[in-house]
Chains A and B, each alone.
Chain A
Amino acid sequence: MRGKWSEQIHFNLMLLPGMILVLLFTVWPMGGIVLAFKHFIPTKGIWGSPWTGWENYSYLFDTPVALRVFKNTIVIALMKIAFGFLIPIVFALMLNELRIQWFKRTVQTIVYLPHFLSWVLLAGILRDFFAVDGIVNQFLGKFGINEIMFLGENFWFRTIIVGSDIWKEFGFGTIIYLAALTGINPSLYEAADIDGATRMQKLRYVTLPGIATTIVLVGTLSLQNVLNAGFDQIFNLYNTLVYDSSDIIDTYVYRAGIEEGHYEVGTAIGLLKSGVSFILIIISYGLASRFANYRIF
Chain B
Amino acid sequence: MKIRRWASLIFVASMVFVSACGNNGGNNNDTTATNAEGNKANNTATETTETTEPAAEPEVAADPFGKYPELIEFTTIRPTMNNPKFPEGESYEENVFNKFMEEKLNAKPKFVWMAPQDGDAYKKKLDLSIGGNDIPDVFQIVGKSITDVQATLKRLVEADMIEDMTNVYEQYASPDIKAAYASADNRGLELYKIDGKLYGIPSQASLENFNFVWVREDWRKKLNLAEPKSIEDVEAIAKAFKEKDPAGNGTTVPVAMQMQTETDGLFGPGFIFDQFEAYPRLFYKDASGQVVYGGIQPQIKDSLKVIANLYKEGLIEKDFALKDTGQLQEILASGRAGIVGQAWWGVWYPLFMTLQNVPDADWKPYAIPAKTNGKLNMGAMNTSSSVMVVKKGFKYPELPMKWLNIMNENDDTEWWIKTSQEKYKDANEKSTGWGGMTIMPVDEILLQAKEIVSAVNGEKDPATLEYKNNDAYLQIKKFIDELQSQPQAASKNVLQWQNTRSWYDAMGSAAKLESNIVYSAYDGQTPTMEKKLTALNELQMKAYHRIIMGKADADAEFDQFVADWKSQGGDDILKEINEALSK
B151–A260 touching, CB < 8 Å: yes
Q: Which of B11-41 contact A (CB under 8 A)?
A: 12-25, 27-29, 31-32, 35, 38-39
Asked if A273 is at the interface (CB within 8 A of a chain B CB), the reply is yes
A22–B10 touching, CB < 8 Å: yes
Question: Which of A19, A22, A32 contacts B31, CB < 8 Å?
Answer: A32
B24–A296 touching, CB < 8 Å: no
Cβ of B546: which chain A residues have Cβ within 8 Å of it?
A: 241
Please give the distance in Å from A58's CB to the nearest CB on chain B.
Answer: 8
| 8 sampled A-B residue pairs with Cβ under 8 A | A11-B3, A29-B29, A41-B160, A42-B132, A43-B161, A132-B319, A261-B130, A278-B20
Asked if A246 is at the interface (CB within 8 A of a chain B CB), the reply is no
Question: Which of A15, A26, A241, A260 contacts B545, CB < 8 Å?
Answer: A241
A256–B535 touching, CB < 8 Å: yes
Cβ of A41: which chain B residues have Cβ within 8 Å of it?
A: 158-160
Knowing A43-B160, A152-B322, A270-B22, say if A62 contacts B10 (CB, 8 Å).
no
B131–A261 touching, CB < 8 Å: yes
Which B residues are closer than 8 A to A by beta carbons?
A: 1-3, 5-10, 12-25, 27-29, 31-32, 35, 38-39, 42, 120, 127, 130-133, 144, 148, 151-152, 155, 158-161, 260, 317-319, 321-322, 531-532, 534-536, 538-539, 541-542, 545-546, 549, 568-569
Knowing A41-B159, A42-B130, say if A63 contacts B322 (CB, 8 Å).
no
Q: Which 5 A-B pairs have the closest CB atoms?
A: A32-B28, A270-B23, A274-B20, A64-B568, A42-B133
Question: Which of B2, B13, B21, B35 contacts A1, CB < 8 Å?
Answer: B2
B42–A43 touching, CB < 8 Å: yes
Cβ of B532: which chain A residues have Cβ within 8 Å of it?
A: 62-64
Knowing A30-B21, A241-B321, A274-B20, say if A261 contacts B155 (CB, 8 Å).
yes
Asked if A183 is at the interface (CB within 8 A of a chain B CB), the reply is no
B7–A32 touching, CB < 8 Å: no
Cβ of A240: which chain B residues have Cβ within 8 Å of it?
A: 260, 321, 538, 541-542, 545
Chain A window 35-68, contacts with chain B (Cβ cutoff 8 Å), 1 for yes, 0 for no: 1000011111110000000000001001111000
A296–B12 touching, CB < 8 Å: yes
> Complex Cα distance A127/B321, Å?
13
> Complex Cα distance A15/B9, Å?
12
Asked if A248 is at the interface (CB within 8 A of a chain B CB), the reply is no
Cβ of A11: which chain B residues have Cβ within 8 Å of it?
A: 3
Cβ of B131: which chain A residues have Cβ within 8 Å of it?
A: 40, 42, 261, 263
B2–A15 touching, CB < 8 Å: no
> Complex Cα distance A121/B260, Å?
21
Closest to B534 in A: A256
Cβ of A63: which chain B residues have Cβ within 8 Å of it?
A: 531-532, 534-535
Please give the distance in Å from B320's CB to the nearest CB on chain A.
Answer: 9
Please give the distance in Å from A193's CB to the nearest CB on chain B.
Answer: 33
Closest to B135 in A: A42
Asked if A25 is at the interface (CB within 8 A of a chain B CB), the reply is yes
Asked if A143 is at the interface (CB within 8 A of a chain B CB), the reply is no
* Extra inter-chain contacts (6) besides given A45-B38, A241-B321, CB under 8 Å: A15-B7, A43-B159, A63-B532, A151-B322, A240-B541, A266-B24
A18–B10 touching, CB < 8 Å: yes
B159–A44 touching, CB < 8 Å: yes
Cβ of B15: which chain A residues have Cβ within 8 Å of it?
A: 221, 224
B3–A277 touching, CB < 8 Å: no
A260–B148 touching, CB < 8 Å: yes
Chain A window 255-293, contacts with chain B (Cβ cutoff 8 Å), 1 for yes, 0 for no: 110011101001101110110011001000000000000
> Complex Cα distance A31/B28, Å?
8
Please give the distance in Å from A295's CB to the nearest CB on chain B.
Answer: 10
Asked if A109 is at the interface (CB within 8 A of a chain B CB), the reply is no
B28–A35 touching, CB < 8 Å: yes
B20–A30 touching, CB < 8 Å: yes
B17–A32 touching, CB < 8 Å: no
Knowing A1-B2, A132-B318, A239-B321, say if A26 contacts B17 (CB, 8 Å).
yes
Cβ of A267: which chain B residues have Cβ within 8 Å of it?
A: 23-24, 27-28
Cβ of A32: which chain B residues have Cβ within 8 Å of it?
A: 24-25, 27-29, 31-32
Knowing A29-B28, A42-B38, A260-B151, say if A22 contacts B159 (CB, 8 Å).
no
Cβ of B10: which chain A residues have Cβ within 8 Å of it?
A: 15, 18-19, 22
Closest to A47 in B: B35
Chain A window 59-93, contacts with chain B (Cβ cutoff 8 Å), 1 for yes, 0 for no: 10011110000000000000000000000000000
Asked if A149 is at the interface (CB within 8 A of a chain B CB), the reply is yes
Knowing A15-B7, A241-B545, A261-B130, say if A131 contacts B27 (CB, 8 Å).
no
Closest to B251 in A: A133
Please give the distance in Å from B262's CB to the nearest CB on chain A.
Answer: 12
Please give the distance in Å from B173's CB to the nearest CB on chain A.
Answer: 28
> Complex Cα distance A45/B6, Å?
36
Please give the distance in Å from A85's CB to the nearest CB on chain B.
Answer: 17
Asked if A165 is at the interface (CB within 8 A of a chain B CB), the reply is no
> Complex Cα distance A259/B160, Å?
21
> Complex Cα distance A297/B4, Å?
9
A46–B32 touching, CB < 8 Å: yes
Closest to B151 in A: A260
Please give the distance in Å from B124's CB to the nearest CB on chain A.
Answer: 8
> Complex Cα distance A228/B23, Å?
10
> Complex Cα distance A151/B321, Å?
9
Cβ of A273: which chain B residues have Cβ within 8 Å of it?
A: 19, 22-23
> Complex Cα distance A19/B152, Å?
40
Please give the distance in Å from A180's CB to the nearest CB on chain B.
Answer: 16
B6–A15 touching, CB < 8 Å: yes
Cβ of B28: which chain A residues have Cβ within 8 Å of it?
A: 29, 31-32, 35, 46, 267
Cβ of A170: which chain B residues have Cβ within 8 Å of it?
A: none
Closest to A45 in B: B35
A152–B20 touching, CB < 8 Å: no
Asked if A119 is at the interface (CB within 8 A of a chain B CB), the reply is no
A65–B538 touching, CB < 8 Å: yes
Chain A window 101-114, contacts with chain B (Cβ cutoff 8 Å), 1 for yes, 0 for no: 00000000000000
Asked if A243 is at the interface (CB within 8 A of a chain B CB), the reply is yes
> Complex Cα distance A19/B32, Å?
21
> Complex Cα distance A170/B3, Å?
32
Chain A window 1-39, contacts with chain B (Cβ cutoff 8 Å), 1 for yes, 0 for no: 110000010011001001100100111011111010000
Cβ of B5: which chain A residues have Cβ within 8 Å of it?
A: 297
Interface hub of B160, B534, B539 (most chain A Cβ within 10 A) = B534
Interface hub of B27, B318, B319, B539 (most chain A Cβ within 10 A) = B319
B1–A1 touching, CB < 8 Å: yes
Cβ of A221: which chain B residues have Cβ within 8 Å of it?
A: 15
Interface hub of A63, A64, A243, A277 (most chain B Cβ within 10 A) = A64
Please give the distance in Å from A246's CB to the nearest CB on chain B.
Answer: 12
> Complex Cα distance A280/B38, Å?
40
